[in-house]
Every structure is written in C-alpha cells, then in structure tokens.
Amino acid sequence: MKLHEYQSKQLFAQHGIPIPRGRVAMTASEARAIAEELGGRAVIKAQVLVGGRGKAGGIRLAGSSEEAEELATQVLGMRIKELPVRKVLVDEAAEIQTEIYLGVANDRAARTPVMIASMDGGIEIEEVARKDPERIVRVWVDPFLGLREYQARNLATSMELPRQLWSEFARIASGLFKTFLDADATLAEINPLVITDAGKLLALDGKVILDDNALYRHPELADLRDIDEEVAPEREARKYGLSYVKLNGDIGCLVNGAGLAMATMDVIKSFGGEPANFLDVGGGAAAEKVAAALKIILADETVRSILLNIFGGITRCDEVARGILMALAGIQRRVPIVIRLVGTNEEEGRKILAEADLTTAASLNEAAKLAIAASRVEAVG
Amino acid sequence: MSILINKDTRLMVQGITGREGIFHAAQMLDYGTKIVAGVTPGKGGDWVLEGKVPVFDTVDQAIAATGPTCSVSFVPARFAVDAMLEAADAQIPLLVCITEGIPVQDMIMVREYLDRAGARLIGPNCPGLLTPGECKVGIIPGHIAEPGPVGVVSRSGTLTYEVLYALQRSGLGVSTCIGIGGDPVIGTTFLDVLELFEADPHTESVVLIGEIGGTDEERAAEFIGDQMTKPVVSFIAGQTAPPGKRMGHAGAIIEGGSGLASDKIAALESAGVSVATTPDAIPELLA
C-alpha cells in the first residue's frame, strides 16, 4: 500500500526528520489560508499515488497567497495519469542548494534491508543508477542490529557530503530506518533530501510503501488508505483479497496462483490473443471469492471471452464450481466462458458445472486456443 | 530416488487442527507419508485422522514422544513466524512453511535466525515437496506425478502442478518436486536445490520454473553454467507482464529494470538451458 507524500512526511516527522512546514488542502480557499500562514510564498503539490507529478504540471510555486489559491484551483482540477487530483499539499518554499537521495528497501538477494544514498538526488535518480552506478552508495543492515551510526557516517563520507552535515545526516538516516522498521515498510525514501541555502537538511519529498501483509498490526496506518485513489474493480478485488490488474486485451482471465496466472497470460499471448486482465484468486479460495472475481471480469465491457484456469491444490475445484454458478446466477451479461479445471476435488467440480453452459478444455494450451477463438466470434443478438 | 524427503521421513504437522491443516494432513496420510505427530497449542492429548495421529501442545513434546525429522506448517500468518522459530529451536533439520502472507521484515529476521541455527526452510508461501510414490509434504496433488528421473524446482505453486501434469501426460517421472515459494525472502533457493539435484544419483535432468522479480534465476543460471553436468530445462512466467505492474505475490514485481523475464531467459539460455515458451512444451525439451 502506497502512502501519499504528505502521509509519508508525517511519518518522517514523527521520527525526528525535518520536513517543510505545510498542510493538506482539499479546496483552493484552504490552500490560500495555508499559504497565508506560511507567509505567502508556497509550493502547491498534487497528492496522487502515481509518479510524474512534476512533469504533468502538478507541482507549482506560488509567490503569494492569492497566487496559491489560483494555482490550487488549477491543480485540483487536473487529472494526472487519469487520476483526478483531490488534494494538494501546501508547503513552505525551500531555497535549494543541493538535492540528495536517501532510501531504504529490502535487498532480496542479500536478504537484509539496504540503505541507499546519492548526492545526485531528484527525479533523475534512476537514470543516475543506470549511468553512474558509482554515484550511488549503499550499506546493508543486519536485521538484529539495525542501522548503526558508523554505517550512516560511512554513507555520508563515501557520498562526499560536507563534513558539517554528517551528524545531522546520521540522525536523519537513523530516523528513516526507524520509519521503515516501525511501519513495516517495503520502501521508505526521501527524494530529494535537500541542503538549503541556510545549510540545513530538509526532507522535501518522500515516499513510503507499506507491506500489505503487515497492515494487520498497524491499524492506524491501514486507515490511511485513500480509497478515492483506487478504481472500482481494484477496490472490489481488494475487498475480497484478490489480486487484479487491468490490461489492454479482450480475454478475461481467472486463475488460482500468481505464477499460473502469469503463465496463462503468456500462453494466450503465444497463440496470438491478448489478456484483458491478470486475476489471481489466491490459494484456498472459497465460492464467494471466486464469484466476486468472475463478477469483476464480467463487469469489464472490453472482455469478449473468459478463460478460467484452475489447478486445485489447496484450492478445491468444487468450491470454484459453486462460485462460478453463484456469479452466473446474479448476472445478465453472457460472455463465452472456457474452463479448465484440474486437481483437488475435480470430479465434484465437474459434476456441479455439468448443467452450466461452459466450454471445457483438458489442457491450458487447448483452453487458450478456445478462448481466443470465442473472443473473435461476432456477438449475435 | 529423491532429495530431502523419502519413505523414511517422519513428519510433524504444525497447525494440524486448522481447516487447511487437517484437510491436507489427511491427503498426505493417504499418500503414504508417515505423519508421526501434530502440534496445536491447547489441543494436546487429542488424536486426529481416525485416531492415527497424536496432537501435542508444543513442538518439544512432539519431538520427545515421536522423533520427527521434518515439520510442515499450516499455521496462520500471524503465528507462523513463531511456529518456524519453535521448530528450529527444537532442532528439526527440515522445515516446510506453506503459509502465505507473512510480512517481509519478519521473514528477514526468521531467515537470519534459521541460518544461525543451521535449519533448512522450504517456503514460506510454497506448495511443499513431493517425492512421487514415497512421500508428500505439503499440498502438491499426489496423483499428478509418477516416480522417475526428473527433478523439478519452482517458485510458483499451481504453475508447478501444471508442469508436473504435463510431465505425467508425456510419461516422464519425477525424482522430487520442490516448490520453494514466491515471496521476496525465502529459505531454500534455486541454487540450493540445484546443488542437491546435481549430487543426487537418481536425478538425471532438472526442470526449473521461475517467474519475474528478483535475481534468483540469474544466480541459478550462473551455477548451471559453471558447475552443473545435468541438463536443465526452464519456463519463466510473466514474459508478457507489463513492467511496473504488481502481479500477485510480493515476489513478482518488476522494479527498476531488474527482474524482467527477458533478462532471466537470456541468462539461462547462455548457461545452456532450454527455455520453453509454454509449460506444455517442457516435456519435449527434456526428450
């Protein structure tokens, strides 16, 4: 779960990291009032959960509170990558001398958290990582010891941070690592961490991604979820614990297991079809969950045929079959459905589906070909 | 004819009285697995599965009474970490964790602890192991594989079944099948399993089923190129997944240009591995 910039920076502040003064506004007049409190000059920043805000014109500098209101009106009316902007962060404008990158994530290969820093912070950091990898410095953190002060100092010295900022930098690094740990994050980054004209460090922008599997022990963070930022099918999918990603094709896919779901998409593509979505119903899915999944796909008007590929292990085919019947009973729209059902309780599953109007397939390849053919038949009536 | 588990494996089931635990314990028992004990705190003294398996409150009690050599856990995510640590502390050499949804930071801590304790973990979020005809530990359906010379190792669950099923229909038998799990931090990796298959005299070739995310396949490719004498065939799921989209498990994320299927396939092919375009194409590449 991604947090907004303003939410991320609030977490940073709770861990002693200096952030600019400012608050979130839902309306332009609120933005004006906040800018007035800040002395007039302010930055208006769109709060949306996608990258590329700056390039889209979602970050604007206002010289006065009147201008802040005007710019906030513009930004609040924008859509950035199709997402409407519903909130803006109004921050005091900082005088920037240098932009630093500082982040923590898990290194899968090393199986420990890693802290990454660079003097070349800002929006081009990924470009820097690709072109000048030696400009990026890293320290790996022992999970039982946490980030030690000498490690933060090592980052500061190897990135050639001015000496007078070392102790302040170490404090911020330690605060960021604690944020990462305490929030059960998979990513916590400050980009940029700026050196101001006054020679102070300030976390100007930030991003935190939380581990969905750990949200149960952070109810206060789970409440930060911005459901306005989710499109309807994704919200519906999350409610039922389904993984759903909308894609551009016309063949709806309903599969148990992420690996098999991806392989099913690969097979469809290899025979010349285009998947309309990725959908993993997960392990041990009950009938209600399968029904919810099928309804999400049936509600997608770009879907011309549906491929259900279920290989029962912990999932039981009879439960899946019951879910399919539940979904079909509640929906008018008819789309050709090809089903491939194998594994735990497959006989029971097939019996339940015997009455339903479905095409059955024995193998994944056959199922994919049938689904592709069905998607190309002109709809009649 | 196998690695890690065989007909002599004495299995303990943690979380045996739960919905998944009891269902799959019954299937394992039917398959012929020697289940010697179950553990569910608070249910000690019960007997389950028609009185065939005693239940204990703690792992220590189960060990003292029954001497298991392997533990499989169906314990729910919130308690799964403790279940793994309890089994490792009791010095069970092989732990298998089926449970999905364990936080990454917990797994980092568990993995570090198990390494220090010298315990081997398969999983979490994995389907477990199957040595056809001898022993099943976990949830892989037993009827989709016959004994034989092909070793199978996979990061996926159900995709593994798909491949086993394809092998069976082509008349190819399996020495041992291991699902190592799809989470970002797991116990045993591709590399560890490849070493075991290379050393196992009854395994003649290996099928490696990978997916997008991480660099485990690349490291496996390095080992295959440098040290393996047995042929390896592979399938990588997610060849058509759009970059930057999260596809289900935490593990299957393409980030910052690494973890792409195309990179993995290139690395495997340059190590001499034949990479199949669909799971059904695997058997012919083994022939």
ipTM: 0.89
Q: How confident is the model at residue A333 (pLDDT cuts 50, 70, 90)?
A: confident
B64 vs B57: CA distance, rounded Å:
12
Which range is least confidently modeled, A1-5, A221-225, B67-71, B84-88? A221-225
What average pLDDT does this structure show over A316-343? 88
What average pLDDT does this structure show over A100-121? 91
* Closest Cβ opposite residue B111 in set A111, A343, A344: A111
Structure confidence at residue B284 (pLDDT): 95
Tell me the pLDDT tens digit for each residue of B98-142. 999 999 999 999 999 999 999 999 999 999 999 999 999 999 999
8 Å CB contact of A256 and B158: yes
User: A281 or B246, which is more confident?
Assistant: A281
Query: Which residue among the candidates A6, A101, A240, A244 is catalytic per the annotation?
Result: A101
Quick one: what percent of chain A has pLDDT higher than 70? 99
**How much is the CA Rg of chain B, to the nearest whole Å?**
18
In DSSP terms, A92 is beta-bridged to A42
Q: How confident is the model at residue B253 (pLDDT cuts 50, 70, 90)?
A: very low
Residues in A touching B211 (Cβ below 8 Å): 258-259, 262
Tell me the pLDDT tens digit for each residue of B149-189. 999 999 998 999 999 999 999 999 999 999 999 898 999 99
Residues of B catalogued as catalytic: 249
Structure confidence at residue A362 (pLDDT): 86
A12 vs B273: CA distance, rounded Å:
47
**Sign of CA pseudo-dihedral B155, B158, B164, B166:** negative
Closest CA to B186 of B99, B244, B111: B111
Q: How confident is the model at residue A378 (pLDDT cuts 50, 70, 90)?
A: low
Interface test with A, best of B115, B162, B217, B280 (most A CBs within 10 A): B162
Model's pTM, two decimal places? 0.90
Structure confidence at residue A52 (pLDDT): 80
Interface test with A, best of B158, B162, B277 (most A CBs within 10 A): B158
Residues 6+ apart with CB under 8 A from A373: none
Structure confidence at residue A307 (pLDDT): 97
Quick one: what percent of chain A has pLDDT higher than 90? 68
Q: Is the pLDDT of residue B24 over 90?
A: yes
Query: Which residue among the candidates A5, A67, A99, A189 is catalytic per the annotation?
Result: A189
At B42, which amino acid appears? G
Q: How confident is the model at residue A127 (pLDDT cuts 50, 70, 90)?
A: confident
* Closest Cβ opposite residue A343 in set B77, B141, B240: B141
**A242 min Cα distance to partner chain B (Å):** 8
Structure confidence at residue B1 (pLDDT): 65
Q: Is the pLDDT of residue B240 over 90?
A: no
Closest CA to A69 of A95, A106, A36: A36
Structure confidence at residue A381 (pLDDT): 38
A226 vs A84: CA distance, rounded Å:
13
Q: Where are the beta strands (DSSP E) in chain B?
A: 10-14, 34-39, 47-48, 53-56, 70-73, 94-97, 120-122, 128-131, 135-138, 147-154, 174-179, 205-211, 232-237, 274-275
From residue A369, give the alpha-carbon distance in Å to each of A301, B239, B282.
21, 18, 18
Q: How confident is the model at residue B81 (pLDDT cuts 50, 70, 90)?
A: very high
A231 vs A50: CA distance, rounded Å:
13
8 Å CB contact of A262 and B252: yes
What average pLDDT does this structure show over A97-112? 91
Tell me the pLDDT tens digit for each residue of A24-76. 999 999 999 999 999 999 999 999 988 788 888 999 999 999 999 999 999 99
Neighbour-count burial of B118, counting CB atoms closer than 10 A to its CB (0-12 exposed, 13-18 middle, 19+ buried): exposed
Structure confidence at residue B250 (pLDDT): 31
Residues in B touching A364 (Cβ below 8 Å): 162, 278-280
B188 vs A355: CA distance, rounded Å:
45
CB atoms within 10 A of CB A351: 11
What average pLDDT does this structure show over B240-257? 50
Residues 6+ apart with CB under 8 A from A133: none
Q: Is the pLDDT of residue B252 over 70?
A: no
What average pLDDT does this structure show over A196-209? 95
What average pLDDT does this structure show over A304-326? 90
Q: Does A213 touch chain B (CB under 8 A)?
A: yes
Residues in A touching B277 (Cβ below 8 Å): 266, 270
Residues in B touching A103 (Cβ below 8 Å): none
B176 vs B202: CA distance, rounded Å:
10
* Closest Cβ opposite residue B242 in set A106, A247, A282: A247
Q: Is the pLDDT of residue B261 over 60?
A: yes
Residues in A touching B165 (Cβ below 8 Å): 311, 342
8 Å CB contact of B245 and A275: no
| B 49-108 residues with CB < 8 A to A | 77-78, 98, 100-106, 108
Question: Are B230 and B202 in contact, with CB atoms under 8 Å apart?
Answer: no
Structure confidence at residue A344 (pLDDT): 82
Structure confidence at residue A356 (pLDDT): 83
**B268 min Cα distance to partner chain A (Å):** 18
Q: How confident is the model at residue A169 (pLDDT cuts 50, 70, 90)?
A: very high
Measure the N-to-C terminal CA separation of chain B; round to a whole number of Å. 20
Structure confidence at residue B245 (pLDDT): 54
What average pLDDT does this structure show over A215-230? 85
Please, what is the average pLDDT of chain A?
Answer: 91
**B64 min Cα distance to partner chain A (Å):** 31
